[in-house]
Structure 1
Amino acid sequence: MRPIEVVDRLGRWSSGRGPLYVLLAARLRQLIDDGDLPPGVPLPPDRALASALAVGRTTVVAAYDLLRAEGRITRRQGSGTRVAGVPSGVPPEDAPVDPIFLDSLEARDDDVLLAICAAPGDPPPQLADAFRAIAPELGRITDDIGYYPYGHPTLRQALADRYTARGVPTGPEQVLVTNGGQQALSLLAHALVSPGDQVFVEAPTYPGALEVFREEGAVLRGLPVGLEGLEEAIRERRPALAYVIPTYQNPTGAVMSALARQRVAGAGIPVIEDEVPADLGFPGEELPVPMAAYGDSVISIGSLSKSIWGGLRIGWIRATPPLINRLARLRAVHDLGGNVPSQLAAVHLLPLLDGPDLHDTLKARHDHLHALLTESLPTWEIPTVSGGQCLWVRLPYGDGISFAQTALRHGLAVLPGTTLDITGAGDPHLRLHFRAHPTALTEAAHRLTTAWSTYNPPTTRQHPRPSIAI
């Protein structure tokens, strides 16, 4: 594509806050995601685009580097810079696996098993019971227009009581109910991050969070799981915030110690504590005290999507009242408020988080999938976990992206580790969830085994051990 064509499509890209390279990357990202720059399209060389835009070459190089780190473009010596995707002449089955959202969130019409989105495959029977229980309450509502930008008071109080019982004294004024944990992340990123701001994340981490921060033009910096080295990193680079999953970390299943939680909470920057997986412990595992117990700089988010059902769309944010007020104003601009019947039903469903059914089922399905994989794929590294929803497996050779393409040709969609790790250390990994029914897990293990027996990686070198265990 000629530089002038790219310039025409870019339009006004420099009118905004933040470094020029971040703004340029943000506009190119939008064009790629919207399909205006389709997969395989060549982008102008650094110098040519810099000249056409009247900016320094370093601006274009930095923008391209950001997009390459996100997997949106490829840069190879001799073949130039291209939008990532399917070059002409490559068969559709070799298309990259969609790492997050869209293709992985809706049921497919074909025979492909989805092992990408780690969430309950169907709602529990108690969900219907909860909606039946609130029917009389709905019938008694009068003089209520039904808009609650902060969330329904009954659910806000129930969530505040739950935090208080877990060792974090909380009032309802510190709780904002959202449409799932993803909206909670989006609101916080929009409120706290400006283009060019640095955000510290674990490597690897939840890919939905990476996408949220990138949409706000953040520059992501990866630290080991548990945000090891956070204090030194803060001294070198003053970040806007840090994001961490301290309990049953997605994807590794790691659990931070109380001492590590205190360390991160006291680092002197805002910290988003993602507690969405925190209720997914196996039987006998004690639920750790939230990181929010150690300081007001910690902002907690939670959700029922992974513990009850994603279709319920109930999430929340726990923070200081001034931040909750700010987020409620921002949220009202987007959707005025959430679904009231779902929020009332959620009050009846919260006790399920502490009941045995959820935890027993998680443990049984983890053990089932782990046993199948260790027997049929003995060369894979497949650590066990004590809670959560994922196995973070390491391939003995090859890479996650090329193997995910092979698995897709055998009817299984898996998440390659590269999409979860901005440092590149996740390249030999896959994230496999164990939330499906045992029959589906058995079939997934069979298809994985078949795919591995046919796998022909781009390179057969053995993966070196990482210097820091994750």
Structure 2
Amino acid sequence: MSMDPAELADRLGRWSAGRGPLYLLLAARLRRLVDEGELPSGTTLPPDRALASVLAVGRGTVVAAYDQLRLEGRISRRQGSGTRVAGPPRPGPRESTGAPVFLHLLEPRDDDVILLACAAPSAPPAMLLTAYERALPQLATVTSDIGYHPSGHWRLRRAVADHYTGRGVPTGPGQVLVTNGGQQALSLLARAFVEPGGTVLVEAPTYPGALEAFREQTTSLEALPVGLDGFEARVRTSDRRLELAYLVSTHHNPTGAVLPSLARRRLVAAAAAASVPLIDDEILAHLALPGQETPPPLAAFGETVISVGSLSKSVWGGLRIGWIRAPRPVIDRLARLRAVHDLGGNVTAQLAAAELLPHLETLCQDIAADRRARHDHLRAELARRLPQWQAPPVTGGQTLWVRLPRGDGDSFAQTALRHGVAVLPGSGLDASGGSREFIRIHFLAAPDTLTEAARRLATAWHAYGDGRDQGTPAPRSMAV
């Protein structure tokens, strides 16, 4: 297939927007088109002069961009046969990865390790089963629908829109994109907004899955304290281009912090003034402990906020339902991008989610007292067995952010694993390279399991403190 110069120019869009040499900007945009499949392998690209003429640049700019992609293996150039797309590079398999370990810690295990690294409900609630019972008969009424819904099924988009409207954020279905969980939502946003060389602003520490979604698109992550404290000064004094800013404003992962209303208002105003897209990860927002009030959603303070939600933490991870709430042009752009990779999610699951979503607050309130009891139980066990550890209480969420009195979380995580407990070392959650003295553990397990986990952690800590297990860093595959 030969690509017409004008057609390629249309696909390139505003490729020259940004800083840096034109050939690098052109190479970056072509790279994304190749990697995302919009320029399939084998496609013949326009000759240097023809593309340069359409783009109104010198021929040397196109030659240099093509040469850059040739060196990366994404295109091939042979005299007489033109320039062809070779496809994205195919690196060989790696033994380990810095990405969240969805296979290492999420796959079923047949050993006796207690998993305190991954926080999510351990079984679907009865309310979910009821939702499926109500959803299944709806399939019998489906006609003239082939089942592909890249933006999400209209029933669920309407339910998510009503959910936000009920929380004080007026929303229409056209402002909602349904995704296969929150992780896909973050990956789509990273692909849509982050250009190679661009900078993403994150909290330190933060959710490691978000860090890896952004690292897939850029190596430039810049960290600010939790709540993006210092954001206004950052955008005022730095000349580095910001592609995105990301935070978990309510029941922060991993610290449990909640951003106050005044700070929310100031942050949203500053991001809008600087034209920086602001992503608010709301996946834990509904998980307040009893008696705790939370501020309005970040999106209530400005229409430009992009909200990410999911039912994985509040209902069950196996449901794989998430969403993005954003201005209509953003949703339309994300839907086009998703269609390249994924023609839509499971319709039955979306119908069940639409039945369940109006009752989400009730479900979260019903389990809040039990989560409080488990939170208190784990903290009491840690205080009894490991009084040197600092494990502050939280007002919501699912995890404790524990400071170790000595050593580091990476080497202790390896020791803990040898003693039958998987914990998450803090360094994998911190793009600044800090938080090495922390570990993250969840409190969702049954009380007797939490008691046994605390006993094993104490045994591991004594071995670690005796020096028998210090100095061996945990593998990067512990980060999830």
Same fold (TM over 0.5): yes
Q: Is the 8 A contact 1:151 1:337 kept in 2?
A: yes
Which of the residues 296, 299, 304 maps onto 2:311?
304
Q: Distance in 2 between matches of 1:389 and 1:351?
A: 22
State yes or no: 1:342 paired with 2:355: no
- One-letter amino acid of the counterpart of residue 124, structure 1: P
Q: Distance in 2 between matches of 1:446 and 1:18?
A: 57
Which of the residues 308, 313, 325 maps onto 1:318?
325
Q: How far does residue 354 in structure 1 lie from its aligned partner after superposition? A: 1.1
Q: Distance in 2 between matches of 1:353 and 1:364?
A: 21
Residue 366 (structure 1) aligns with: 375
**Pairs within 5 Å for 1:5-404:** 100-235=101-236, 236=238, 237-267=240-270, 268=274, 269-355=276-362, 356-404=365-413
Q: Is the 8 A contact 1:148 1:336 kept in 2?
A: yes
Q: How many pairs are equivalent?
A: 378
Q: After superposition, what is the alpha-carbon deviation per residue over 1:176-210, rounded to whole angstroms, capped at 9, x for unaligned?
A: 00000000000000000011110110000000000
Q: Is the 8 A contact 1:176 1:317 kept in 2?
A: yes
Q: Unaligned regions of 5+ residues in structure 2, if any?
A: 1-22, 36-67, 69-93, 472-480
Q: Indicate how the Cα distance of structure 1 residues 288 and 437 shifts in structure 2: closer, same or farther if over 3 A, else same.
A: same
Q: How far does residue 352 in structure 1 lie from its aligned partner after superposition? A: 4.1
Q: Unaligned regions of 5+ residues in structure 1, if any?
A: 1-14, 28-54, 56-83, 87-95, 460-470
Q: How far does residue 274 in structure 1 lie from its aligned partner after superposition? A: 0.3
Q: Is the 8 A contact 1:187 1:331 kept in 2?
A: yes
Q: After superposition, what is the alpha-carbon deviation per residue over 1:199-251, rounded to whole angstroms, capped at 9, x for unaligned?
A: 11000000000000001124001100000001111121331110000000000
CA RMSD of aligned residues (A): 2.4
Q: Distance in 2 between matches of 1:445 and 1:98?
A: 27
Q: Is the 8 A contact 2:258 2:294 kept in 1?
A: no
Q: How far does residue 318 in structure 1 lie from its aligned partner after superposition? A: 0.3
Q: Distance in 1 between matches of 2:457 and 2:299?
A: 40
Q: After superposition, what is the alpha-carbon deviation per residue over 1:150-187, rounded to whole angstroms, capped at 9, x for unaligned?
A: 11111111111111111111111100000000000000
- One-letter amino acid of the counterpart of residue 311, structure 2: L
Q: Is the 8 A contact 1:97 1:413 kept in 2?
A: no
Q: How far does residue 99 in structure 1 lie from its aligned partner after superposition? A: 5.3
SS at match of 1:311: helix
Q: Is the 8 A contact 2:412 2:470 kept in 1?
A: no
Q: After superposition, what is the alpha-carbon deviation per residue over 1:46-74, rounded to whole angstroms, capped at 9, x for unaligned?
A: xxxxxxxxx9xxxxxxxxxxxxxxxxxxx
Q: Is the 8 A contact 2:179 2:324 kept in 1?
A: yes
Residue 443 (structure 1) aligns with: 452
Q: How far does residue 353 in structure 1 lie from its aligned partner after superposition? A: 2.5
> Taking structure 1 as the reference length, what is the TM-score of the superposition?
0.76
- One-letter amino acid of the counterpart of residue 153, structure 1: W
- One-letter amino acid of the counterpart of residue 257, structure 2: A
Q: Indicate how the Cα distance of structure 1 residues 187 and 398 shifts in structure 2: closer, same or farther if over 3 A, else same.
A: same
Q: Indicate how the Cα distance of structure 1 residues 157 and 183 shifts in structure 2: closer, same or farther if over 3 A, else same.
A: same
Q: Distance in 1 between matches of 2:266 and 2:256?
A: 20
Q: Is the 8 A contact 1:194 1:218 kept in 2?
A: no
Q: Is the 8 A contact 1:99 1:416 kept in 2?
A: no
Q: Indicate how the Cα distance of structure 1 residues 99 and 143 shifts in structure 2: closer, same or farther if over 3 A, else same.
A: closer
Runs of 4+ in 1 over 3 A off after TM superposition: 15-20, 96-100
Q: How far does residue 361 in structure 1 lie from its aligned partner after superposition? A: 2.2
- One-letter amino acid of the counterpart of residue 180, structure 2: N
Q: How far does residue 98 in structure 1 lie from its aligned partner after superposition? A: 8.2
Q: How far does residue 253 in structure 1 lie from its aligned partner after superposition? A: 0.2
Q: Distance in 2 between matches of 1:282 and 1:305?
A: 18
Q: Indicate how the Cα distance of structure 1 residues 348 and 341 shifts in structure 2: closer, same or farther if over 3 A, else same.
A: same
Q: Indicate how the Cα distance of structure 1 residues 210 and 19 shifts in structure 2: closer, same or farther if over 3 A, else same.
A: farther
Residue 80 (structure 1) aligns with: none
Q: Distance in 1 between matches of 2:24 and 2:413?
A: 38
Q: Is the 8 A contact 2:99 2:209 kept in 1?
A: no
SS at match of 1:256: coil
**Identity of aligned pairs, percent?**
59
Q: Distance in 2 between matches of 1:139 and 1:365?
A: 42
More displaced stretch, 275-284 vs 355-364: 355-364
Q: Is the 8 A contact 1:281 1:359 kept in 2?
A: yes
Q: Distance in 2 between matches of 1:263 and 1:279?
A: 23
Q: State which structure, 1 or 2, has the greater radius of gyration over its C-alpha atoms.
A: 2
SS at match of 1:223: strand
SS at match of 1:431: strand
Which of the residues 433, 441, 447 maps onto 1:432?
441
Q: Distance in 2 between matches of 1:351 and 1:171?
A: 16
SS at match of 1:302: strand
Q: Indicate how the Cα distance of structure 1 residues 98 and 135 shifts in structure 2: closer, same or farther if over 3 A, else same.
A: closer
Q: Is the 8 A contact 1:352 1:358 kept in 2?
A: no
- One-letter amino acid of the counterpart of residue 244, structure 2: L
Q: After superposition, what is the alpha-carbon deviation per residue over 1:7-60, rounded to whole angstroms, capped at 9, x for unaligned?
A: xxxxxxxx975999xx9xxx9xxxxxxxxxxxxxxxxxxxxxxxxxxx9xxxxx
Q: Is the 8 A contact 1:202 1:244 kept in 2?
A: yes
Q: Indicate how the Cα distance of structure 1 residues 266 and 111 shifts in structure 2: closer, same or farther if over 3 A, else same.
A: same
Q: Is the 8 A contact 2:421 2:457 kept in 1?
A: yes
More displaced stretch, 424-433 vs 388-397: 424-433
Q: Distance in 1 between matches of 2:188 and 2:220?
A: 18
- One-letter amino acid of the counterpart of residue 285, structure 2: A
SS at match of 2:354: helix
Residue 478 (structure 2) aligns with: none
